[in-house]
């Protein structure tokens, strides 16, 4: 009896142990990974033009390693989610870069990086960007009216390259209106050339700045600059080859002090009114040539300094009034082939010329008295410096006006002025130290030598 009881007790004990083991093993999770824990960081958002931006993110994982999707999401409302616009930039825990596309110009966007692991979504800190105005990042050439209108319809406000309107060669375009370009505010360089039907620049009325320069050439029926009324800044201004252009007054707001100006071959242009805003600078060059109707240059009245001044072959120009405030020219002054030029009125405040003064082929120029304040020509350092060159001014009889001139750089060349007989205005020059001994006088009414000038034999 006792033996049977003991056997039953052992069997109960064994069953109890087995039951306990089953209960314990049933409480363990077999093969289940621990919960993933991670944080997402949003990279700064940078605009790429006006319709795109760059961003991205990184993922810091504390447990687990399973990232199923990642990218950035954005919206015009705060706290964007993956239900809004988003990028999909792969899987895994590595950092990533993202490109946001199809953005609208001048719009606030909110951006967050995201990462997904299973059913879990984490977002980075929100960033904000304001997209710039609609910007074209390259150069563009518009050769037809259809191309102008199609480009204008895109509403670009800024162009980072050159905007070329018309043909770059001698062929003429069909373009006759720029009205569709009304949104433009700035371009890197503006070239309008060879448009035989273009009568107006209206359409460019909102253009404020041109980084490099404005080039207007061979637009046969263009009469004025209307359309550029709000242009305030440009590095250079080239206007040439227009048969009917007669009015520059719409450029009155152009005030960039270092602006260089080239005005040439404009058959009907009689004055430079409209350029009064230009003050000049040490890198400013003024080239006025081949304008047969030009009678005055008073529009240049606020130019005080310049690198180069050239007034050439303006056959109706009577004087240089307009340069009255010009005091210093860093390089050259050239007055050439101006067949109606009677005197140099306008240069009466000019004191210094850095390289050379050339007065050539002005057939009715009778005097140079308005150079009365000029004290220096050339710096003597350049072997190519001409110094003073007065050639073939057949009505010139005297050099009166050069009495204050003390320095002439490397040379003095005064030749073929058939009535010139009086050189006494040059007596303040030390001919032993100036002009390196080069002093040329040929085919004038009187041709003194250096010895004559030193001895006071300066006139007939």
Closest CA to 388 of 422, 359, 421: 359
What are the pLDDT digits (tens) for 117-128? 988 999 999 999
Tokens describing residue 336: 């050439």
What DSSP character marks residue 360? E
- Give the gyration radius of the chain's Cα atoms: 40
What are the pLDDT digits (tens) for 2-49? 444 445 554 555 444 444 454 444 444 444 556 678 999 999 999 987
Separation between Cα atoms, residue 305 and residue 247, nearest integer Å: 25
Tokens describing residue 240: 């040439």
Closest CA to 407 of 447, 371, 380: 380
Separation between Cα atoms, residue 229 and residue 248, nearest integer Å: 10
Instruction: Look at the block and give the residue holding tokens 């980075």.
Output: 124
Tokens describing residue 9: 């007790």
Largest CA distance in the chain: 169
Query: pTM score, two decimals?
Result: 0.80
Separation between Cα atoms, residue 369 and residue 28, nearest integer Å: 112
Instruction: Look at the block and give the residue holding tokens 């250079």.
Output: 236
SS3 216: strand
Adjacent-strand bridge partners of 189 = 162, 213
Question: What are the C-alpha distances in Å from 84 to residues 44, 57, 77, 99?
Answer: 19, 17, 10, 15
pLDDT on residue 361 = 98
Helices first, then strands: H and E counts in the chain: 3, 28
Domain topology for 37-130:
Immunoglobulin-like (2.60.40)
Separation between Cα atoms, residue 58 and residue 49, nearest integer Å: 25
Tokens describing residue 73: 């999401």
Burial track 189-202 (b if 16+ CB lie within 10 A, e otherwise):
bbbbbbbbbbbbbe
Separation between Cα atoms, residue 198 and residue 144, nearest integer Å: 11
Residue ranges of the domains in the chain? 37-130, 133-231
Separation between Cα atoms, residue 140 and residue 157, nearest integer Å: 14
Tokens describing residue 258: 């270092």
> Average pLDDT by consecutive 10-residue portion of the chain (460 residues)?
48 48 46 73 92 95 84 98 97 95 94 95 96 92 96 94 87 91 97 95 97 94 97 94 97 84 97 90 89 96 93 97 94 97 96 96 97 89 72 98 91 96 93 67 96 92
DSSP 115-182: EEETTEEEE---EEEE--S-EE-S-EEE-SHHHHHHHHTTT--EEEEEEEEE-SSS--------GGGT
Is the dihedral angle over the CA atoms 80, 86, 87, 90 positive or is it negative? positive
């Amino acid at each position: 009896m006792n033996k049977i009881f003991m056997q039953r007790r052992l069997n109960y004990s064994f069953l109890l142990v087995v039951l306990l083991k089953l209960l314990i093993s049933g409480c363990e999770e077999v093969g289940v990974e621990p919960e993933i824990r991670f944080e997402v960081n949003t990279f700064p958002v940078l605009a790429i033009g006006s319709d795109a931006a760059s961003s991205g993110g990184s993922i810091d994982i504390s447990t687990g390693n399973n990232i199923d999707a990642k990218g950035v999401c954005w919206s015009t409302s705060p706290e964007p989610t993956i239900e809004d616009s988003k990028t999909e930039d792969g899987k895994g825990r590595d950092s990533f870069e993202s490109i946001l596309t199809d953005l609208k110009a001048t719009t606030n966007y909110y951006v967050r990086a995201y990462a997904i692991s299973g059913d879990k979504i984490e977002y980075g800190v929100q960033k904000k960007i304001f997209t710039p105005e609609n910007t074209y990042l390259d150069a563009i050439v518009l050769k037809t009216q259809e191309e102008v209108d199609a480009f204008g319809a895109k509403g670009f406000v800024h162009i980072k390259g050159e905007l070329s309107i018309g043909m770059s060669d001698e062929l003429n375009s069909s373009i006759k209106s720029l009205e569709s370009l009304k949104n433009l505010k700035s371009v890197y360089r503006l070239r309008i050339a060879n448009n035989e039907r273009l009568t107006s620049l209206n359409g460019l009325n909102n253009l404020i700045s041109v980084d490099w320069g404005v080039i207007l050439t061979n637009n046969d029926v263009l009469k004025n600059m209307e359309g550029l009324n709000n242009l305030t800044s440009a590095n250079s201004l080239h206007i040439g080859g227009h048969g009917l252009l007669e009015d520059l007054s719409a450029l009155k707001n152009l005030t960039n002090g270092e602006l260089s100006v080239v005005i040439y071959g404009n058959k009907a242009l009689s004055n430079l009114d409209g350029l009064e805003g230009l003050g000049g600078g040490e890198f400013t060059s003024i080239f006025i040539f081949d304008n047969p109707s030009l009678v005055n240059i008073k529009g240049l009245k606020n130019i005080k300094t310049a690198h180069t001044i050239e007034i050439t072959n303006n056959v109706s120009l009577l004087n240089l009034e307009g340069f009255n405030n010009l005091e210093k020219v860093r390089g050259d002054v050239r007055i050439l082939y101006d067949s109606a030029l009677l005197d140099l009125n306008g240069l009466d405040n000019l004191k210094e010329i850095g390289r050379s003064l050339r007065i050539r082929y002005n057939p009715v120029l009778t005097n140079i008295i308005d150079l009365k304040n000029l004290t220096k020509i050339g710096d003597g350092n350049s072997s190519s410096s001409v110094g003073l060159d007065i050639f073939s001014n057949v009505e010139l009889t005297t050099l009166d006006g050069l009495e204050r001139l003390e320095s002439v750089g490397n040379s003095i060349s005064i030749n073929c002025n058939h009535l010139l007989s009086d050189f006494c205005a040059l007596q303040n020059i030390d001919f032993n130290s100036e002009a390196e001994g080069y002093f040329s006088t040929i085919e004038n009414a009187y041709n003194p030598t250096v010895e004559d000038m030193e001895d006071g034999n300066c006139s007939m």
